[in-house]
C-alpha cells in the first residue's frame, strides 16, 4: 500500500502550474500543503493561504515529508534540496544545472540520511530516460547515449532548415513562444544539453563528471552557408550531446552540432521535441521521443517521480557500484566540419587528416579528423573566430562505430 505524501512545492511557474493541473485530475494519495514563491504580490489562481515566501515554512514543517523543487535559482535550489534530504524529507527536482553541478554531494546526502532524490523531469522533459537507464539497462553494456536534449535549440534549427528563417529571427520566435530565455546562452550554447548529458551519463555509465570538464559548442555561430551546405548534402543540423564508452576504462562526453541524414532517428525530431538514442550491446539501438519542455510534459515526469516516492523508490546508482575503473576522457578522434575565417584556427586545431577543403569568397570550410582535446584547448579561439563546428561523420564518409573502435584500441 502506498504512503501518503504531504508535499511542499517550491516554485509555481510553468512546470509548477503544469504539475498542479495534472494532480487535480488524479486521485492520488498526496496533498500539496504549501507552495513557496518569490513574488507575494503576483496574482495566483489558488487561495493565497496556500502560498508563502518563507522557505522555512516548508523545510521546517514536520508534516511535510516530500519536497518538490522547481525553481530557476541554481544555488538556492541546492540549499533547499540538501536541507530537505538532510532533515529526512524525500525530494523531487527538475533543476538540471543544480543536479549536474552537485550530483556527487547529493548522492552522498541520500546515502547518509537514507532519503531519496528523484529527478526524471530534469532530463528531456516527458521522456522517461533516467528511470530506463537506471532500471531497464542496469545489466546492459551501453555503447552510447546521445540525442536531442534541448528543445529551444532544436526549434531554432528546425525553423532555419524547414522554413528558411535566419538564426536571429528563429531565436526571437523561440523566445516569444517561451521556448528560449531572454538570455539564450544556456540553450543555444549547449550548456543546458551538457547538464542533462552529465546526469544521464551518471546512470548510463556510473561516471560523475564535472560539467566544466565536458566540451560543449552550440549553434550561436550558425550561418546561412552552413544550412545551405546541409541542404545540398540532404542532411540536417542538430545539436547533439554524446556520451560514448570507448573501452572498459574510458568514456567520452561532448556536445556538438551534428550533421544527420534521413536514415537517422534524429532527422525527424523537429521543433521543441527531444529524442534520445541508446546504443546497447545486446538490445541494439533504441529510440525515445517526446516533448522536452513545457508545463504539462515536464510536470508529468515530476508527477511520475512523486508517485514513485509513495512506494519508497530510490535510485541505486547501480552502474557506479559495478564500474569502478571507468574514467572520463577527451582523448577521442572526431570527424568535424569547420567553417572558419582565419587560417590560423585550422593550424591551431592540428587536424590529424583533412578530407576536404573549400574556399569561396567569405565562405571557407574544412572537413577532417581532429582530437576532441584539441577542440577543448582552442575553444576560445573558435569563439573569437565566430567559427561553426559540427560533428561530421556523414560527410567524411566513415563508419562511426569503426572510428570509435579504432580510438579505443589506441588508448
pLDDT (tens, 9 = 90+) of the chain, 411 residues, equals 578 999 999 999 989 999 999 998 888 899 999 999 999 889 888 999 999 999 999 999 999 999 999 999 999 999 999 999 999 999 999 999 999 999 999 999 999 999 999 999 999 999 999 999 999 999 899 999 999 999 999 999 999 999 999 889 999 998 888 777 788 999 999 999 999 999 999 999 999 999 999 999 999 999 999 999 999 999 999 999 999 999 989 999 999 999 999 999 999 999 999 999 999 999 999 999 999 878 899 999 999 999 999 999 999 999 988 867 899 999 999 999 999 999 999 999 999 999 999 999 889 999 999 999 999 999 999 999 999 999 998 776 544 333 433 433 444
Structure confidence by residue, pLDDT tens digits, 307-321 = 999 999 999 999 988
User: How far apart (Å, rounded) are the C-alpha atoms in residues 229 and 79?
Assistant: 47
Residues recognised as catalytic:
196
CATH topology of domain 130-290+326-410: Dihydrodipicolinate Reductase; domain 2 (3.30.360)
Arch. (CATH architecture) of 5-127+295-320: 3-Layer(aba) Sandwich (3.40)
pTM for this one? 0.94
Asked whether this chain's domains 5-127+295-320 and 130-290+326-410 adopt the same fold, the reply is no
Q: Where are the domains of the chain?
A: 5-127+295-320, 130-290+326-410
Structure confidence by residue, pLDDT tens digits, 354-411 = 999 999 988 999 999 999 999 999 999 999 999 999 999 877 654 433 343 343 344 4
Amino acid at each position: 500500500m502506498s504512503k501518503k505524501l504531504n508535499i511542499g512545492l517550491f516554485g509555481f511557474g510553468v512546470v509548477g502550474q503544469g504539475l498542479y493541473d495534472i494532480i487535480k485530475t488524479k486521485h492520488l494519495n498526496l496533498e500539496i500543503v504549501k507552495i513557496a514563491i518569490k513574488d507575494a504580490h503576483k496574482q495566483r489562481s489558488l487561495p493565497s493561504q496556500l502560498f508563502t515566501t518563507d522557505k522555512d515554512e516548508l523545510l521546517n514543517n514536520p508534516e511535510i515529508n516530500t519536497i518538490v523543487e522547481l525553481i530557476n535559482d541554481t544555488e538556492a535550489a541546492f540549499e533547499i534540496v540538501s536541507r530537505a534530504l538532510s532533515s529526512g524529507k524525500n525530494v523531487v527536482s527538475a533543476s538540471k544545472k543544480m543536479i549536474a553541478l552537485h550530483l556527487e554531494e547529493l548522492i552522498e546526502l541520500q546515502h547518509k540520511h537514507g532519503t531519496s532524490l528523484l529527478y526524471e523531469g530534469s532530463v528531456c522533459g516527458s521522456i522517461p530516460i533516467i528511470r530506463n537507464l537506471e532500471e531497464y539497462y542496469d545489466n546492459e553494456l551501453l555503447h552510447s547515449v546521445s540525442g536531442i536534449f534541448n528543445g529551444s535549440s532544436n526549434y531554432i534549427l528546425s525553423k532555419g532548415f524547414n522554413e528558411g528563417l535566419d538564426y536571429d529571427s528563429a531565436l526571437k520566435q523561440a523566445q516569444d513562444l517561451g521556448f528560449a530565455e531572454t538570455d539564450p546562452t544556456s540553450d543555444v550554447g549547449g550548456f543546458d544539453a551538457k547538464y542533462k548529458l552529465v546526469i544521464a551519463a551518471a546512470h548510463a555509465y556510473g561516471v560523475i563528471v564535472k560539467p566544466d570538464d565536458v566540451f560543449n559548442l552550440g549553434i550561436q555561430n550558425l550561418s546561412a552557408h552552413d544550412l545551405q551546405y546541409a541542404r545540398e548534402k540532404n542532411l540536417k543540423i542538430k545539436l547533439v550531446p554524446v556520451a560514448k564508452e570507448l573501452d572498459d576504462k574510458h568514456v567520452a562526453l561532448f556536445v556538438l552540432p551534428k550533421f544527420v541524414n534521413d536514415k537517422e532517428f534524429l532527422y525527424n525530431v523537429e521543433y521543441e521535441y527531444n529524442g534520445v538514442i541508446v546504443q546497447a550491446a545486446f538490445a541494439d539501438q533504441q529510440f525515445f521521443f517526446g516533448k522536452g519542455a513545457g508545463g504539462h510534459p515536464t510536470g508529468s515526469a515530476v508527477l511520475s517521480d512523486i508517485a514513485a516516492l509513495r512506494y519508497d523508490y530510490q535510485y541505486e546508482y547501480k552502474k557506479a557500484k559495478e564500474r569502478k575503473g571507468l574514467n572520463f576522457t577527451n582523448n577521442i578522434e572526431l570527424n568535424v566540419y569547420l567553417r572558419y575565417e582565419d587560417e590560423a584556427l585550422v593550424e591551431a586545431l592540428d587536424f590529424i587528416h583533412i578530407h576536404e577543403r573549400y574556399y569561396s569568397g567569405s565562405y571557407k570550410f574544412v572537413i577532417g579528423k581532429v582530437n576532441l582535446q584539441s577542440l577543448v584547448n582552442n575553444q576560445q579561439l573558435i569563439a573569437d573566430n565566430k567559427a561553426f563546428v559540427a560533428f561530421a561523420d556523414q560527410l567524411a564518409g566513415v563508419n562511426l562505430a569503426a572510428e570509435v573502435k579504432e580510438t579505443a584500441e589506441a588508448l
